């Protein structure tokens, strides 16, 4: 008798969950973007959200809440009801990097539910055109022969570009001077003018200078070649095991019903196969991704572990 009651309750719960998932959504969904309009995370989230509207039958309202390297908007999202009506355009800065270099008011692995990874953002190792290194082995040889003579720039201490360079320098066993800037633009500007020798930055921030010949792209930071610049090889070709990239993904407050996450993830993965979306992502320097909530959660853990290791190695702490 007890088993029959238990089975009946489980069946009823399953039916309720199914009905809930089928009726979702019945009013607009808010998408928190912790960056200003026009930034890569903002653009990627808007493109995907635009395609989700006809599928879900409800508007997706973009809500930009920038500040503090994305942590303000991310904290706000983490404290919203986990009912599927608040989503977060998550990214590597506030979710994988900031929690490892400073105190943030949320736990990146416990306070968010993963839905789908939208894109991977490759970095590019670039040198000033006057640097006599045409490839990664030549740059490593140059730096080893002149320890402390050359400098590299970053968009700030603890920023992704800094950590990417720290990992490169460590694996290459080279010594160079770090010159931090307040953002990618001044960092790349001084690289172009020859004030520093090299940096590892995002595709959009350096591609125009590479095309004009003012910077030389040596390799990308991802394990595989980037769809955005497939002609450029990888750092891992010469430093096996090197891998560093930014990422953008769809998330929600922790506790969001699994059936809703599964549905949103499935619909998002279909959208990321759309040739139009893929070409628009690649034009932004983003490699389209797409995975299940479970795969995204595993990816997130690996990213946080990797950044934690690099931050510890570099001795960084911004508190």
3-state SS of the chain is CHHHHHHHHHHHHHHHHHHHHHHCCCCCEEEEECCCCCCHHHHHHHHHHHHHHHHHCCCEEEEECCCHHHHHHHHHHHCCCCCCCEEEEEEHHHHHHHHHHCCCCCCCCCCEEEEEEEEEEEEEEEEECCCCCCCHHHHHHHHHHCCCCCEEEECCCCCHHHHHHHHHHHHHCCCCEEEECCCHHHHHHHHHHCCCCEEEEEHHHHHHHHHHCCEEEEEECCCCCCCCCCCCCEHHHCCCCCCCEEEEEEEEECCCCHHHHHHHHHHHHHHCCCHHHHHHHHHCCCEECCCCHHHHHHHHHHHHHHHHHHHHHHCCCCC
Give the strand pairing for 112-128 and 287-288. antiparallel
Q: Within this chain, do residues 221 and 190 fall inside the same structural domain, yes or no?
A: yes
Task: Look at residues 212, 237, 262 and tell me which one is the last residue of a structural domain.
Answer: 237
Tokens of 39: 């930034």
Torsion sign across C-alpha atoms 11, 12, 14, 19: positive
- Asked whether residue 146 is domain-assigned, the answer is yes
Give residue 315's pLDDT. Answer: 75
- Asked whether residue 319 is domain-assigned, the answer is no
Please give the tally of structural domains in the chain: 2
Q: Within this chain, do residues 128 and 225 fall inside the same structural domain, yes or no?
A: yes
- Asked whether residue 23 is domain-assigned, the answer is yes
Give residue 13's pLDDT. Answer: 47
Q: Within this chain, do residues 176 and 279 fall inside the same structural domain, yes or no?
A: no
Q: Within this chain, do residues 10 and 66 fall inside the same structural domain, yes or no?
A: yes
Q: What is the CATH number of the domain that holds 66?
A: 3.40.190.150
Q: Within this chain, do residues 114 and 126 fall inside the same structural domain, yes or no?
A: no
- Asked whether residue 30 is domain-assigned, the answer is yes
Tokens of 165: 């360079």
Tokens of 267: 């619909």
Q: Within this chain, do residues 34 and 68 fall inside the same structural domain, yes or no?
A: yes
Question: Cα–Cα distance between 45 and 32 in angstroms, integer?
Answer: 9
Q: 234 pairs with which residues across the strands?
A: 220
Beta-carbon contacts of residue 207 (< 8 Å; ≥ 6 apart): 229, 285
Q: 90 pairs with which residues across the strands?
A: 249
Q: Within this chain, do residues 139 and 216 fall inside the same structural domain, yes or no?
A: yes
Calculate the CA 173 to chain-centre distance. 27
Cα 132-207-160 angle, rounded to 5 deg: 85
Q: Within this chain, do residues 224 and 131 fall inside the same structural domain, yes or no?
A: yes
Residue in this structure with the two tokens 């290194």, named with its chain if needed: 133
Residue 65, Cβ density class (10 Å: 0-12 exposed, 13-18 middle, ≥19 buried): middle
Q: Within this chain, do residues 227 and 129 fall inside the same structural domain, yes or no?
A: yes
Spatial contact of 223 and 236, defined as CB atoms under 8 Å apart: yes
Q: Within this chain, do residues 106 and 178 fall inside the same structural domain, yes or no?
A: no
Task: Look at residues 237, 268, 287 and tell me which one is the last residue of a structural domain.
Answer: 237
Q: Kindly report, residue by residue over 22-53, the tens digit of the pLDDT.
A: 689 999 999 999 999 988 899 999 999 999 99
Question: Cα–Cα distance between 292 and 114 in angstroms, integer?
Answer: 8
Give residue 319's pLDDT. Answer: 52
Question: Cα–Cα distance between 43 and 202 in angstroms, integer?
Answer: 15
Beta-carbon contacts of residue 143 (< 8 Å; ≥ 6 apart): 150, 169, 172, 174, 175, 176
- Asked whether residue 94 is domain-assigned, the answer is yes
- Asked whether residue 205 is domain-assigned, the answer is yes
- Asked whether residue 106 is domain-assigned, the answer is yes
CA atoms within a 13 Å half-sphere pointing along the CA-CB vector of 4? 1
Q: Within this chain, do residues 109 and 254 fall inside the same structural domain, yes or no?
A: yes
Ranges in the chain, pLDDT < 70: 1-22, 317-319
Q: What is the CATH number of the domain that holds 169?
A: 3.40.190.10
Task: Look at residues 237, 253, 279 and tell me which one is the last residue of a structural domain.
Answer: 237
Q: Within this chain, do residues 169 and 91 fall inside the same structural domain, yes or no?
A: no
Q: 62 pairs with which residues across the strands?
A: 31
- Asked whether residue 270 is domain-assigned, the answer is yes
Please give the residue range of the domain that contains residue 199: 122-237
């Amino acid at each position: 008798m007890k088993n029959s009651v238990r089975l009946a309750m489980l069946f009823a719960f399953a039916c309720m969950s199914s009905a809930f998932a089928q009726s979702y959504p019945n009013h607009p969904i808010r998408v928190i973007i912790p960056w200003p309009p026009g930034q890569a995370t903002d653009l990627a989230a808007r493109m995907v959200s635009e395609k989700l509207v006809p599928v879900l039958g409800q508007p997706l309202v973009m809500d930009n809440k920038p500040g503090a390297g994305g942590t303000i908007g991310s904290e706000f999202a983490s404290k919203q009801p986990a009912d599927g009506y608040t989503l977060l355009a998550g990214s590597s800065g506030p979710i994988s990097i900031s929690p490892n270099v400073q105190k943030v008011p949320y736990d990146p692995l416990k306070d968010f539910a993963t839905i789908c990874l939208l894109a991977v953002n490759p970095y590019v190792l670039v040198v000033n055109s006057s640097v006599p290194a045409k490839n990664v082995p030549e740059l490593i040889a140059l730096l080893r022969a002149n320890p402390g003579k050359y400098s590299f720039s970053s968009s700030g201490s603890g920023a992704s570009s800094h950590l990417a360079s720290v990992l490169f320098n460590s694996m290459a066993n080279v010594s160079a001077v770090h010159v931090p800037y307040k953002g990618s633009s001044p960092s790349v500007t001084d690289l172009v003018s020859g004030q520093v020798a090299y940096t590892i930055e995002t595709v959009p921030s350096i591609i125009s200078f590479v095309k004009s010949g003012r910077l030389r792209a040596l390799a990308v930071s991802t394990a595989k070649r980037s769809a955005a610049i497939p002609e450029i090889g990888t750092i891992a070709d010469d430093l096996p095991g090197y891998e560093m990239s930014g990422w953008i993904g769809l998330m929600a407050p922790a506790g969001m019903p699994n059936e809703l996450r599964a549905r949103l993830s499935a619909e998002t993965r279909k959208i990321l196969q759309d040739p139009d979306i893929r070409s628009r992502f690649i034009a932004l320097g983003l490699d389209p991704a797409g995975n299940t909530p479970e795969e995204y959660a595993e990816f997130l853990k690996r990213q946080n572990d990797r950044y934690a290791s690099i931050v510890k190695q570099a001795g960084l702490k911004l508190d």
